[in-house]
Amino acid sequence: MHTDDPLIAQRLAKLELATQRDGDPFWRTRYDVTHHAAEIVDGFEALEGTSVRLAGRLHTLRGKGKAAFWDLYDQSGRIQIFLNVDSVGEEAFRHLGEVIDLGDIVGVEGQVIRTRMGEVSVHASAVTLLTKSLRPPPLGKEKDGETWNRLTDIEARYRRRYVDLFVNRDVRAVFEARSRIVQSIRRTLDERGFLEVETPMLQPIQGGAAARPFITHHNALDMELYLRIAPELYLKRLLVGGFEKVYEINRNFRNEGIDTSHNPEFTMLETYEAYADYNVVMDLTEALVTNACLAVHGKLQIEFDGQEIDLTPPWPRKKLYDIVAEATGQDLGAMGGDEAEREAAARRVAEQIGVYVQPSDGFGQIVDAIFKKYVIAKIVQPTFIIEYPVELSPLAKRRPDKPELTERFQPIIAGLEMGNAFSELNNPIDQRERFEAQARRAQRGDAEAMPYDEDYVTALEYGMPPAGGLGVGIDRLVMLLCDQRSIRDVILFPTMRPD
């Protein structure tokens, strides 16, 4: 405790004063609450004159000699507490004045009234100090939605999210919405007969996505384990096991850079449905996103970063090569020639429009790079991008009519990649070849090539039903639905360097 800090020392002195009169507030264990602030404000007509008990943090103290007005916030919101010497007694009133600070947590018992100025209030007859706040809260001031001197320093807000949450109510609102979104997703899937499961976060072979993993070590087994980059291969093993509809909502970990749309740990929804193809999954995606939006907004028209977005289904479906051709004026999909010629042509287009590509990138990766860096930001309204080249999609099923393409799609909204989905490759012979192609890419220097998972191929050899799978980045969905430009604003404790 920094007793050398005068502001903390003052508060410790007040704690001592409070303890002398009423006992140490930190020994109190219980305060029975009858109402929350919003219930009293909203239900004033019925509650006027009745006695209530509520508890919360003090955000404003307005003293006026022998009367005082406090703003008390609980989880539901704000209510004014009115107290004067007549309601609590002269001695108690003076004592409270000496002991109570901004940020203290108190229990209040009193009558529901409306003040002369017309504000619904609780006229306190008893105030109990439940927790002494020993640090000055950076609450600032507020009037008509305008705020002054409130904590805004972005670093301090992330590092001390607990302060951010009680100081900035709109931050709370984002996380309340996040909870409703996840709830809605579970409801949508449960109603359709999906089973929620949990699969390993610690994996001996990382798989299911192209990304660099975090590596950790298990002492007793004396072996390296990877924090999962995706649950995909385990969930599909469950289809082999006979579950027909499964999903998991959980954390993935990817050892990559941090920016406004990437956090090293992030939350992913993955669903797998036997006997469904990617068309069925597109319908499911629309249902998941629109239900979540309705749960938060009650309508399907939202604003993101100043753009009007309408989520009303059905969302248009556009082929990857077509939309890249539209944006660049060069139809790479229609290009003939062998692999090397196609790759060289794609490389030229990338160079023309200023998209950087790795020397190790093949044709598919270059097209993907052009799409991600040049095209995707231009897609504002919800759109399914479909038909990805097979070399980009080592776990996706080929189109029967065009085997160099897969039955894969990505939902794009407001320039954000909201997910990834495909008809699942269930042919163990083809899967083995795809893993081998990935291994060749790893040799070529691609740190994100997918490692060979022999047991997964074994599982497919027993037989996995045809199935459609979906992955949705929950954090990005929350960003979209809550109009937040940074993933850090939808993650309670984003990854930061230590102070």
Partner RNA sequence: GCGCCAGUAGCUCAGUCGGUAGAGCAACGGACUUUUAAUCCGAUGGUCGAAGGUUCGAGUCCUUCCUGGCGCACCA
Using CB under 7 A, which residues numbered 343 to 382 contact RNA?
355-358, 369, 372-373
Rounded to 10 deg, the angle between the 363-370 and 339-352 helix axes is 20
Identify which of residues 102 and 335 has a Cβ nearer to RNA in the complex: 102
Alpha-carbon distance of 424 to 440, in angstroms, equals: 22
Which secondary structure element, helix H or strand E, spans residue 326, and what is its range?
Answer: helix 320-328
Selected from 21, 150, 317, 348, the binder of RNA by CB under 7 A is 150
Residue showing tokens 């042509």: 345
**Token reading at 286:** 């629309």
Beta strands in 134-222 (DSSP E): 141-143, 146-148, 195-196, 202-203, 215-218
Identify which of residues 199 and 252 has a Cβ nearer to RNA in the complex: 252
Binding status of residue 328 toward RNA by CB under 7 A: no
For RNA (CB under 7 A), the number of binding residues is: 82
Give the list of residues 6+ apart from residue 274 with CB closer than 8 angstroms, or none: 239, 243, 244, 245, 465, 466, 467
Give the list of residues 6+ apart from residue 136 with CB closer than 8 angstroms, or none: 7, 11, 101, 102, 103
Instruction: Identify which range of 110-118, 199-207, 242-250, 315-323 contacts RNA by CB under 7 A.
Output: 110-118
The footprint of RNA on residues 158-177 (CB under 7 A) is: 158
Binding status of residue 473 toward RNA by CB under 7 A: yes
* CA nearest neighbour of 382 among 417, 425, 339, 433: 417
The footprint of RNA on residues 409-448 (CB under 7 A) is: 417, 420, 448
Terminus-to-terminus CA distance in the chain, angstroms? 18
Instruction: Identify which range of 2-10, 274-282, 315-323, 452-460 contacts RNA by CB under 7 A.
Output: 2-10
Parallel, antiparallel or unpaired: strands 383-389 and 317-319: parallel
Binding status of residue 39 toward RNA by CB under 7 A: no
Identify which of residues 397 and 488 has a Cβ nearer to RNA in the complex: 488
Instruction: Identify which range of 22-30, 298-306, 380-388, 468-476 contacts RNA by CB under 7 A.
Output: 468-476
* CA nearest neighbour of 402 among 343, 334, 342: 334
The footprint of RNA on residues 117-146 (CB under 7 A) is: 117-119, 121, 123, 136, 138, 140-144
Binding status of residue 156 toward RNA by CB under 7 A: yes
Shortest Å distance, C-beta 321 to RNA:
18
Selected from 72, 151, 249, 405, the binder of RNA by CB under 7 A is 151
Reduced to 3 DSSP states, what percent helix, strand and coil does the chain have, rounded to the nearest 5?
40, 25, 35
* CA nearest neighbour of 332 among 367, 358, 357: 367
The interface mask with RNA, positions 197-226, x = CB under 7 A, is: ------------xxx---------------
* Measured CA angle at 142 (ends 137, 148), to 5 deg: 70
HSE, CB side, 13 Å, CA atoms: give it for residue 98. Answer: 15
Selected from 45, 148, 193, 222, the binder of RNA by CB under 7 A is 148
Instruction: Identify which range of 154-162, 171-179, 197-205, 284-292 contacts RNA by CB under 7 A.
Output: 154-162
The footprint of RNA on residues 238-297 (CB under 7 A) is: 254, 256-264, 266
Shortest Å distance, C-beta 452 to RNA:
18
CB 123 within 8 A of CB 49: no
The footprint of RNA on residues 84-103 (CB under 7 A) is: 84-86, 98, 101-102
Binding status of residue 451 toward RNA by CB under 7 A: no
Shortest Å distance, C-beta 243 to RNA:
25
Selected from 80, 285, 383, 423, the binder of RNA by CB under 7 A is 80
Helices (H), ranges, 198-255: 232-240
Amino acid at 98: E
